[in-house]
Amino acid sequence: MNRLNLFRNSQSYAARSGAGRLAWAQSSVGRTVSRTSLFLKRQIWAWPILAVVLLSIIGLFVRRAIENTMRESLQAELQTLVHLEAAMLRTWVKVQKSNVESLANSIDIRETLYPLIEPPVAAAPAKGGVAASNEALQEKLAKSLGPSLTAHRYAGYIVADKQRRIVASDRRETMGQADIAEYRDFLSRALDGETNLGAPFPSVVVMKDELGKSRTGVPTMFVAAPVRDESFQVVGVLGLRIDPAEEFCRILSLGRFGATGETYAFDRSGRMASNSRFDDELILLGMLPDQEDSQSILQLLVRDPGGDVTQGFRPAARRHDLPPTFAVAEAAAGRAGVNVEGYRNYRGAAVVGAWTWLPEADVGVVAEMEYAEAFRPLTILRWTFWGLFGLLAASAAAIFVFTVLVARLRREAQKAAIEAQQIGQYKLEQKIGSGGMGVVYKAKHAMLRRPTAVKMLDVDRVNEASIERFEREVQITSQLNNPHTVAIFDYGRTPEGVFYYAMEYLDGIDLQSLVERYGPQPAARVIHILEQVCSSLYEAHSLGLVHRDIKPANIMLNRRGGEPDVVKVLDFGLVKALDDERRSGSTQQGALTGTPLYMSPEAIQLPNTVDARSDLYAVGAAGYFLLTGQPVFDAENVMDLCQKHLAATPLPPSKRIDKAIPEELESALMACLEKSRAKRPQTARDLAQLLSRCPEAKSWSVEEADSWWGRHERGHAGLVPPAQGTPNGHDDRTIDLSIRAV
C-alpha cells in the first residue's frame, strides 16, 4: 500500500471552480448540458417518469421496512411463545418436585420406607420371596401414598435403595430389580441429593396406553426425591410415576398456533418427548408406523431429512443417520435462540422457530411455524412490488440511455473544467492527493510564482460538520510557528462557496516510505529526526494542543533552504484541544481516533483523556519503526493490536534486529512506550533532552545528510536508491518520490 497517498482521488471539485465554470460555459460540452437542463424544464412528460422512479425507490424502502418490521414482530412472537411455554413447564416441574419432596420428607412415610430400604438381616421370606413383614410395609406405604397419588393424578410410585434396587413399587414385577437402565439417570441424580424430573421414556412395565391397551413401551416419566435418614444422609429414593399425556403434553399443545404452528419437546437424544400436531400426516408420509396407537412421542427422531418430505422428497439415509434439525442442534448445545430466516423441520418443511433448553425437565422446547404461513402477507407484498417494477421496466429502459448520455457529458465537462482551474490567486497545476474531506493540488501564486499546495474542501461532502473541522484544522495549524510544522499561507472561500487553504509545498519523503524503500535508519539519523519532531510537538503542546495522529506517514523528511533532513510534522486534522469541555469539538466524544499501530493505551481505552504524553508514546513507536523497520507490535487484526498496546510489553529494538543500538536511545524509546503516562517523558522537551544525551546525538552531520540526499535525490520529484554493494545494500533502480502535502 502506498502510504504517500493522503487523500482519495476526486474530480468533483473541477466542475465548481470559477475559471473552470467560465471555460465550461463557453465550450460545446457546456452548451449541450445546458440545453439538456432546458429540455427537462420544458418537457412536462419527463417529470412523471422521474416521479414514478422516485415513488418506486420509496416503495422499495417501504417494502423493506415492512419486511423488517414483520421479521422483528415474528421473532418477538416466537420468543415470547417459547418463553411462555418454558415458564409454564418450569412451574409445573416445580410443583411436581414440591409434591415428591413433601412425601419423601413425611415422617410417617419415612418410617415406612426405612425398613424397606434397609430391611432387618433376619427377615423370614414369604410367598413370592417377600417377607411377611415386608408385605405389610408395602401395603402401609401404598395406603400412605394413595391419597397424594390420586389427588395429583400420579400413575404409580417406586422406592429404590442406594444400589438403585427397587424395594417397593406399585408394579410388583419390578420388585427386586437393580439398576434398570431406564431408571438409572433420575435415580442417580436423586441419590446425589437432587430432586429431579426426568424426560419421558418408554415404560418397562405393562401399562395402559391412551386406547386402554395394556402393553410395555407406554410413554412415562418420573419425578424423584432423595429419602434421608435422621443424620440427613441419603439412604434411598422415592419416585412418582407421571403420565406425560396428563399435563406435560397438554401444556405443550397449548403452543399450537395458526394452521402449522406447534410447540414440542425433545430429549437429549433428539427424540420427540411430546406429541406432534401432524401425527396423522406423519403416518401417511411413512415417518410413523401405520398402527392405531402410533404417535410421535418417543417414536419420532427430530432429524433434518434434507428436503421437504411433504412435497415428495425422500432421504437417502436412515432417519437415525440424519443430522438433527437446526433448532434441536442449537437447543441441545444449550444455546437458546430464534430463526426467522428459515430452516427445515423434521418433515423437511421450511419453518421459522424459537427454541430453548429446559434443564428442569431435561428436555428442549421448540416453537415452529411453516415459513410460507409466517410470511404470507410478505409474499403478497413482494408480488405486488414485482408487478409494479415490471410495469416500470419500459420507462426505466427509455430513460436509461438518456441518463448514460447526460453522465458522459458531465464527465467530459468535468475534464474540461479541470484544465482551467483557478482558485483565488492560485493557479492549480496538478492534483497530488485526495482524502475523505478534501482534495490537494500543486499550485502557484499568480504574483509570487511560489510553489504552493492548495487544499480544497470536497464540494460533494460539504456540511456544517466538515466545514467546522476544515476551518478548525487550518486555524489550529496557522497558530503554530515552529519551523518543523507545516506552514499555512492563506485561507479563503471562492464565490461559488468552495473552501480552501494554501500551505507550503513539500517535495520530500515521509518516514514510512523512507523505511519501506531504504530500510532501518542509522541511530544518529533517527535521533536527528526525533529531536525535530519533539520541537514541533513542544510548541503544539504548549498551546494546549494534542496531535493524536503522530505516525511515520505524517512526518516528512525534506531538503529545505539548502538544509538536508529538515523534518515537517503534518496533518493536524485530528488535533485535540485540552480544554475541549469549553469547545464544541468536531470529533465525536469518546470516538477512537488515530492510527492503531501508533496509538497509546489511553487513546484506545479513554480517547477523551489523551494529552501530550499520548503523542510521546506515538513518537516512541515511530522511532522504534525507524530503527527496526518494524512496528512495535505485530497482530492479526486491530482488536489484537489494541490489546497488545494495552497489556503487552514491547520487545526492545535491539532484540528485534541483529544490530547494536545505543543503550541511551533504546532507553528513551522504551520510556516513551511505557503503559503508564507517569513513567513516560512528561514533555516533548524532556524527550528531546533524553535524546540529546545519547553519544550519537551529534553524529549525523550535515555532510552525511547531504551525501544521502545527493545519492537519492533526482531533481525535485524523485529519489534514487543506492546501488548494490553500497552500505545500505539497495539496488540501482530509480524510485520516484511521491509529492506529499497535508
Q: Which three cell numbers stand for residue 466?
A: 466538515
* Percent share of the chain, pLDDT over 70: 78
Collect all residues with Cβ–Cβ distance below 8 Å to 13 and sequence separation of at least 6: 439, 456, 458, 459, 498
393-400: long-range pairs with CB below 8 Å, 24+: 395/49, 395/52, 395/53, 396/53, 398/49, 399/49, 399/53
- Shared domain for 499 and 538, answered yes or no, is no
- Shared domain for 200 and 269, answered yes or no, is no
- Shared domain for 131 and 205, answered yes or no, is yes
What's the predicted TM-score (pTM) here? 0.48
Residue 58 lies in a domain: no
Q: What is the pLDDT of residues 408-435, one digit of tens each?
A: 664 454 344 444 567 778 888 888 877 6
Highest-scoring range by mean pLDDT, 209-218, 278-287, 573-582:
278-287
Decide if pLDDT at 380 tops 90.
Answer: no
**Boundary residue ending a domain (453, 479, 505):** 505
Supply the range of the domain harboring residue 358.
Answer: 255-374
Residue 406 lies in a domain: no
Q: Which three cell numbers stand for residue 388?
A: 409494479
Residue 568 lies in a domain: yes
Decide if pLDDT at 330 tops 60.
Answer: yes
Decide if pLDDT at 167 tops 90.
Answer: yes
Helix boundaries (H) for 240-298: 248-253, 279-284
φ and ψ at 66, to 5 degrees?
A: -65, -45
pLDDT range class, residue 537, cuts 50, 70, 90: very high
- Shared domain for 520 and 669, answered yes or no, is yes
* Cα gap 736→174, rounded to integer Å: 93
φ and ψ at 500, to 5 degrees?
A: -150, 160
Q: Which three cell numbers stand for residue 264?
A: 414440542
- Shared domain for 677 and 549, answered yes or no, is yes
Collect all residues with Cβ–Cβ distance below 8 Å to 250 and sequence separation of at least 6: none
* Cα gap 155→241, rounded to integer Å: 5
Decide if pLDDT at 719 tops 50.
Answer: no
pLDDT range class, residue 496, cuts 50, 70, 90: low
- Shared domain for 333 and 368, answered yes or no, is yes
**Boundary residue ending a domain (505, 535, 557):** 505
- Is 473 in contact with 532 (CB distance < 8 Å)? no
Three-state secondary structure readout of 413-476: HHHHHHCCCEECCEEEEEEEEECCCEEEEEEEECCCCCEEEEEEECHHHCCHHHHHHHHHHHHH
Which CATH number characterizes residue 185's domain?
A: 3.30.450.20
Decide if pLDDT at 478 tops 70.
Answer: yes
Highest-scoring range by mean pLDDT, 133-142, 231-240, 573-582:
231-240
Residue 591 lies in a domain: yes
Decide if pLDDT at 13 tops 50.
Answer: no
Residue with cell 426426568: 198
- Shared domain for 171 and 284, answered yes or no, is no
Region 169-188: what's the mean pLDDT? 91
Decide if pLDDT at 266 tops 80.
Answer: yes
Residue 577 lies in a domain: yes
pLDDT range class, residue 736, cuts 50, 70, 90: very low
**Residue 224, beta-bridge partner list:** 196, 239
Which of the two residues, 617 and 740, has the higher pLDDT score? 617
* Three-point CA angle 266, 150, 155, nearest 5°: 35
Supply the pLDDT for residue 507.
Answer: 83
Which CATH number characterizes residue 278's domain?
A: 3.30.450
Q: Domain count of the chain? A: 4
Region 225-234: what's the mean pLDDT? 92
- Shared domain for 558 and 680, answered yes or no, is yes
Which CATH number characterizes residue 477's domain?
A: 3.30.200.20
Decide if pLDDT at 88 tops 80.
Answer: yes
State the chain's mean pLDDT as an integer. Answer: 81
Supply the pLDDT for residue 126.
Answer: 45
Decide if pLDDT at 67 tops 50.
Answer: yes
- Shared domain for 230 and 349, answered yes or no, is no
Residue 395 lies in a domain: no
Decide if pLDDT at 6 tops 70.
Answer: no
Region 123-152: what's the mean pLDDT? 76
Which CATH number characterizes residue 522's domain?
A: 1.10.510.10
Supply the pLDDT for residue 492.
Answer: 80
pLDDT range class, residue 614, cuts 50, 70, 90: very high
pLDDT range class, residue 592, cuts 50, 70, 90: low
**Boundary residue ending a domain (462, 480, 505):** 505
- Shared domain for 519 and 500, answered yes or no, is no
Region 691-707: what's the mean pLDDT? 90
Residue 396 lies in a domain: no
- Is 222 in contact with 239 (CB distance < 8 Å)? yes
Residue 537 lies in a domain: yes
- Shared domain for 216 and 267, answered yes or no, is no
- Shared domain for 238 and 286, answered yes or no, is no
Residue with cell 471562492: 494
